[in-house]
Amino acid sequence: MSTLERLAALLSKEFAIDPARLGPAARLEDLDIDSLRMIEIAFAVEDAFGVKITDEPSQLMARLKTVGDFASYVDGLLAAAGTSKAPP
């Protein structure tokens, strides 16, 4: 499963977002993801992908506009951590 698919599955399951709305071009602000919600999502992504997100929510909001951006960002974190596998 690609990072994009895993991220979409996480957002759908944990944050009750309709999977049909979670394509790569979907804009985070259209999904009602504000900076407070981003804190929760960052927490869930850390758990699910075994990565550490050090950027602040406002930085994430400025940098990541779409679900595709977010997936690429997570790919970058996974690469930096030297693994692309989910934690056991």
Strand residue runs (E) in 1-88: none
**Cβ of residue 24: shortest distance to another protein, in angstroms?**
23
Query: Residues 24-63 vs another protein: string with x where CB under 8 A?
Result: -------------x-xx-xx--x-----------------
16 binds another protein (CB under 8 A): yes
Percent helix, percent strand, percent coil in the chain, to nearest 5: 65, 0, 35
Q: How many CB atoms lie within 10 A of CB 12?
A: 15
Report the interface residues with another protein, using CB under 8 A. 15-16, 37, 39-40, 42-43, 46
